[in-house]
Amino acid sequence: MMKALVIRANAKLNLSLDVTGVRDDGYHIVDMVNRSVTLFDEIKIELTPGSPFTIESNVRFFPTDEKNLIWKAARKLTETIGTGLPEARCTVRKRIPSQAGLGGGSADAAASLIGFNMLLDAGLNEQELCDIGASVGADVPFCVVGGTARVGGIGEEIHSIGDELYCPMLIAMPRYGRSTKEAYSMLDRTPDIRHPDTESVVRGLAAGDAEKAFAGAGNVFEYVTSDDVTEELKRKITADGAVYSAMTGTGAAVFGVFQRPREALEARDLLRAEGYGSWVVYRADKGVEIVT
């Protein structure tokens, strides 16, 4: 049996995000095109027989108790296989900013599921891990599958799609985050929202055509959570050469799609000089990658 793993938990971008309804139980129905990208948290999971389950991090405000999605995912997995919480230490090096719309917590939870499934020889398949992940968070199933996918339902319906568009993307993060719960509440109170053309995004990605892919793209949450900083970041990114720029998730991060790496890197450096967190990323084929 393996004793330890080092795992990359990749962030996700919502290349397009639509909300098409609300279920009777209050959960929102989504129609999204998600892509895993090469901004990641690094997680080391070590089995430590005789010791309690612990989480450590390089970030001070990072929760290290049962509120953490890594903890919740590990508990759900072991409940499924009929064992107790594993005797293990999880060391998390955070790179994905919080409250950004980049799925950092969900990516960590997916890494926990895949990691403990391997370390404990649980033998669960991808769909079983997705089912467990759905009980932890809406973005966890996608982060388990990763790649590029059209996501429906309340996040549990994952349909991998062809993605021939390999180009640099720039992520920019303001100096504050946003609450997902509050954003959905605001959306419910906002009439007359223009919905993106998700089907055209899927066709454009399959064709490897950036202009076609993003002509009909959009994010409905920009109608309710976008502010002056969001719009200014989008304007700067577009002025620096991006063919498309939008908010990801419920914010607060903004991303841009570039044709050439040099333009993306120059735009990144300009934003960093202004004090924004900014990263150039590429498409990742997986949501979770085993490093060692």
Q: What is the pLDDT along the chain (292 residues), one digit of tens a residue?
A: 679 999 999 999 999 999 999 999 999 999 999 999 999 999 999 999 999 999 999 998 899 999 999 999 999 999 999 999 999 999 999 999 999 999 999 999 999 999 999 999 999 999 999 999 999 999 999 999 999 999 999 999 999 999 999 999 999 999 999 999 899 999 999 988 999 999 999 999 999 999 999 999 999 999 999 999 999 999 999 999 999 999 999 999 999 999 999 999 999 999 999 999 999 999 999 999 999 8
Neighbour tally for 239: CB within 10 Å = 11
Closest by Cα among 137, 84, 85 to 109? 137
Q: Where are the domains of the chain?
A: 4-161+285-290, 169-281
Q: Tabulate helix, strand, coil % of the chain (nearest 5).
A: 35, 30, 40
Residue 188 a catalytic site member: no
- Tracing tokens 């980049």 back to the chain, one arrives at 102
Query: Under CATH, to which class is 169-281 assigned?
Result: alpha beta
4-161+285-290: which CATH architecture? 2-Layer Sandwich (3.30)
pLDDT of residue 2: 79
Strand 148-152 with 169-173, pairing: unpaired
* Mean confidence (pLDDT) of the chain: 96
**Predicted pLDDT of residue 192:** 84
How far apart are alpha carbons 44 and 111 in whole angstroms? 10
76 is catalytic: no
Determine contact, residues 105/133, Cβ cutoff 8 Å.
no
Q: Which residues pair with 148 in a beta bridge?
A: 35
What single-letter amino acid sits at 226? S
Catalytic residue among 12, 72, 76, 234: 12
| pLDDT given for residue 173 in this prediction | 97
- Residue 117 has a pLDDT of 98
Residue 243 is predicted with a pLDDT of: 97
Q: What is the pLDDT of residue 1?
A: 66
The one catalytic residue among 18, 41, 108, 139: 139
